[in-house]
Structure 1
Amino acid sequence: MGEPPVAETAVDPTAADQTAADVIVVGAGPAGSATAYHLARTGLDVLLLEKTAFPREKVCGDGLTPRAVKELIAMGIDISEEAGWLRNRGLRVISGGRQMLLDWPDLASYPDFGLVRRRDDFDERLARAAEKAGARLFERCNVSGPVRDDRTGRITGVEAHLGEDKRRVTFRAPLVVAADGNSSRLSLAMGLHRDARRPMAVAVRTYFTSARSDDDYLESWFELHDRRDGQERLLPGYGWIFGMGDGTANVGLGAIKPSSSGRASSPGKEPDWREVLRAWTAGMPAEYGFTPDTMTAPIRGAALPMAFNRQPHYARGLLLVGDAGGMVNPFNGEGIAYAMESGRIAADVISGALIRRTPAQREQALQRYPRVLKETYGGYYTLGRAFAHLISQPKIMRLATQRGLNHPGAMRFLLKLLANLTDPRGGDAVDRVINGLTKVTPRA
């Protein structure tokens, strides 16, 4: 069923021909695997270095919007039901005691359906697709730091510990892609730090055995509360229930983190997010079956770096993709689509740069990468930062949760805005309004 596994190739990773490449990609999550896939398809020699071994756990809602589906199709992934993918038609939004079904919009640019698949299996599918395209995948390859040119400071490779015996290996390439997630140790080692003024979010999730497993819609609840010190605070975020089609449901929440240094979040002590999730699920309808006895996995959490919170996205031979570059959508916390899209964009820029004849020409071409990202997402992410700031105000969040579902037209507008699903050319009036807003908004 689905893509056959790619057999591991017996290679000597200490041999010179195995440690040199055109491009090194650090991290085989969606961003890294997409980058490696699209680079390999152009005929470039690509090393894809993953610190763990597949399958491996990642905190995620396991739900994919039509933006992510489009990127899967571009990678040639078999997304059929027979290959284990579960389709969904849109969102069921629940707030203020009401609910509304919002179908994914019918657009020329994107499919009209989303997908669900467990993240541990999902990531491996993408990594194997990159491998099948020609990328050389090394699992259990923990990158410890960059190799730099002493004169220019430019990255020329990475140091890593490989395999069960943690052999020290030096990999070399003229370009390196950091796809190593939110913490991005490689970016930090190259002096690229997060911008504390940009919003950060958090996600926590678990799995329950539940009758909610088979559902044509992803379910979102817009009333999360932090109950501490005898007070009840409405949180800027939402809870989700994504049926997995296998008798279980992925149940979690995403919320903007409080911050005293950033404008996007209100100051204050951070809630215990696991307790917030426990309290929320304990108050769900009994027929959902969310009890401690039906929980099938521990509650796990992860940070969501949003709205370009690490820049520049290219410097001294290093390109940032996905969470390493803070690509998460600040409107809804979606990361996978933007991870895969940024990987494709990076691969396009790299492949175009490496065919240039001189180092100066190649460098000029590589400098396009941050500009293309800002042209693609900059205005939208600026709007998203303003949105994150607004919903961090309790009065505004309360008004939105109490009255939002009274206006179906406004909710359909919000679905397109929050999910970033519009046709860039033509489209309906909503598309033109949203596209116009993103074009006139500063691309920071």
Structure 2
Amino acid sequence: MSADVVVVGAGPAGSAAAYHMAVAGLDVIVLERGELGRDKVCGDGLTPSAVTELALMGVDTTGWRRNKGLRVIGGGHLLHIPWPEQASLPSYGLARRRTELDRDLAERTVAAGARLLTGVTATAPLTSPSGRVIGVEVRPTPRAARPGVTAPAEITAPLVVDAGGVSARLATAVGRAKDVRRPLGVAVRAYFRSPRADDAWMESRLELWDGPAGKSELLPGYGWMWSVGDGLVNVGLGSVSSRAATTRIDYRAVFNRWMERAPASWGFTPDNRVGRLGSAALPMAFNRKPHYADGLMLLGDAGGMVSPFNGEGIAQALMSGRLAARAAACAAARSTAAGREKALGQYPAAMAERLGGYYTLGRVFVSLIEHPEVMRICTRYGLGRRRLMRLVSKLLSDGWERRGGDGIDHFIQLLTRMVPAA
């Protein structure tokens, strides 16, 4: 079996890449080891940046849960920050459970002409004698209901895309190890039935405490709660370390204590919880590179593209797929191997231009909020300053204009140009 491109992983990154590549006329095979609609630990929140990427894919979001901004609570303050109407970003966000989002995106990809094989596990990259990745070895996923292959096989392609998530198995197999000097986050999430499931705001609580009352330590991170539709609320917490080091914090215990102290109006009782309490690692700030070399591209979590500012990964995954497709389409039009490599090199350059300086600032941000006293001062004295919070909200949500915009946008543009790219 062969194609122009093999994409491993049908999450947001892989589906976005396959969609844009198929629209550009490339023959694309997408491999997904599970079945569509597999549950994944995620906040399910889609910022205006993610909404824009969905619009570029032509995804029909009718009926999806909309939100109009952030409700931020901390340091004795409560602040509502609406999503601003901007030239490149809409004035609303969305929420969609990953079981539904991933299915929607994969189906959109198939409609564009990509070939989707579910129940297929990519076990290893195929490489040429020179070390170039030229395809993948695959096998049926154990216990898959309808695997896309019936026996171990090889799929060849001049371009292979690892969009397989945090494990990044293909990247790891060719020696692209994660950079332990980059931030690593941890997220814990559960769903609850809630009487406030119609709330139109995404609520963020900036004070996470580890330990019993009176002996608690403030953690670097935040808690969230927002509606995802169907009477459900996604509730979770995210914490971050400036280096990919192990931690002794029991995040599930922190979550359970947080639920015990949550406002009763939300109804976060054990009887109202739906499904499991899940946890996941969040690879941040380009912690695995290069994003392209020797026939292999890294997208989304496989390339460590989660934002160190807020733990968001869906918008970045969708964008990485779009930029990867642009480079792949340009490469397919070249007549020489050297020309194709130059075209494919546009992808890591575009990611660095879009997020490099921004993620460098994010690493500084993480190193600061790791200190409880800094976090305490920021929440107590910063939240009451509305203009400062407009800056912070744009910075933390990646909701700033790259060109033009207002004075705050210009200030962030200046900051990102002053620092080296991540």
TM-score normalized by structure 2? Answer: 0.96
Q: How does 1:216-295 map to 2 (within 5 A)?
A: 216-227=200-211, 231-257=215-241, 264-265=242-243, 269-295=247-273
| Residues matched between the structures, number | 416
Structure 1's unaligned 5+ residue stretches are 1-18, 258-263
1:51, 1:139 within 8 Å by CA — same for their partners in 2? yes
Q: Distance in 2 between matches of 1:52 and 1:196?
A: 29
**SS in structure 1 opposite 2:276?**
coil
Task: Give yes or no for the alignment of 1:185 onto 2:164.
Answer: no
Q: How does 1:5-404 map to 2 (within 5 A)?
A: 19-81=1-63, 85-150=64-129, 152-162=130-140, 164=144, 167-227=151-211, 231-257=215-241, 264-265=242-243, 269-404=247-382
- Structure 1 residue 311: deviation in Å? 0.5
2:360, 2:419 within 8 Å by CA — same for their partners in 1? yes
2:36, 2:103 within 8 Å by CA — same for their partners in 1? yes
Q: Distance in 2 between matches of 1:235 and 1:443?
A: 27
Q: Distance in 2 between matches of 1:298 and 1:268?
A: 23
Q: 1:213 to 1:426 in 2, by over 3 A?
A: same
Q: Distance in 1 between matches of 2:416 and 2:77?
A: 31
- Structure 1 residue 286: deviation in Å? 1.4
Q: Distance in 2 between matches of 1:372 and 1:198?
A: 20
Q: 1:359 to 1:267 in 2, by over 3 A?
A: closer
2:75, 2:376 within 8 Å by CA — same for their partners in 1? no
Matched letter for residue 125 of structure 1: D
- Structure 1 residue 436: deviation in Å? 1.0
Q: Distance in 1 between matches of 2:187 and 2:333?
A: 41
Matched letter for residue 131 of structure 1: V
Matched letter for residue 264 of structure 2: A
- Structure 1 residue 310: deviation in Å? 0.2
Q: Distance in 2 between matches of 1:417 and 1:287?
A: 30
Q: Distance in 2 between matches of 1:148 and 1:228?
A: 53
- Structure 1 residue 268: deviation in Å? 7.8
2:292, 2:345 within 8 Å by CA — same for their partners in 1? yes
1:266, 1:392 within 8 Å by CA — same for their partners in 2? no
**Structure 2 residue aligned with 1:416:** 394
- Structure 1 residue 425: deviation in Å? 2.3
Q: Tell me whether 291-300 or 171-180 shows the greater mean CA deviation.
A: 291-300
Q: Distance in 1 between matches of 2:215 and 2:77?
A: 25
Q: Distance in 2 between matches of 1:204 and 1:157?
A: 35
Matched letter for residue 180 of structure 1: G
- Structure 1 residue 103: deviation in Å? 0.3
**Structure 2 residue aligned with 1:14:** none
- Structure 1 residue 245: deviation in Å? 2.8
**SS in structure 2 opposite 1:299?**
strand
1:162, 1:169 within 8 Å by CA — same for their partners in 2? no
Q: 1:137 to 1:235 in 2, by over 3 A?
A: same
Structure 2's unaligned 5+ residue stretches are none
Matched letter for residue 167 of structure 2: S
Q: Distance in 2 between matches of 1:136 and 1:268?
A: 39
Q: 1:203 to 1:266 in 2, by over 3 A?
A: closer
- Structure 1 residue 426: deviation in Å? 2.0
**SS in structure 2 opposite 1:406?**
coil
**SS in structure 2 opposite 1:167?**
coil
Matched letter for residue 28 of structure 2: V
Matched letter for residue 367 of structure 2: H
TM-score normalized by structure 1? Answer: 0.91
Matched letter for residue 318 of structure 1: L
**SS in structure 1 opposite 2:25?**
coil
Q: Tell me whether 204-213 or 416-425 shows the greater mean CA deviation.
A: 416-425
- Structure 1 residue 423: deviation in Å? 2.0
**SS in structure 2 opposite 1:244?**
strand
Q: Deviations over 1:238-292 (max 9, x none)?
A: 00001123212110011104xxxxxx25978431111111111110111211111
**SS in structure 2 opposite 1:105?**
coil
Q: Distance in 2 between matches of 1:324 and 1:267?
A: 18
Matched letter for residue 24 of structure 1: V
Q: Distance in 1 between matches of 2:229 and 2:359?
A: 33
Q: Distance in 1 between matches of 2:56 and 2:230?
A: 27
Q: Distance in 2 between matches of 1:30 and 1:209?
A: 26
2:180, 2:243 within 8 Å by CA — same for their partners in 1? no
Aligned-residue Cα RMSD (Å) equals 1.5
Q: Distance in 2 between matches of 1:213 and 1:290?
A: 11
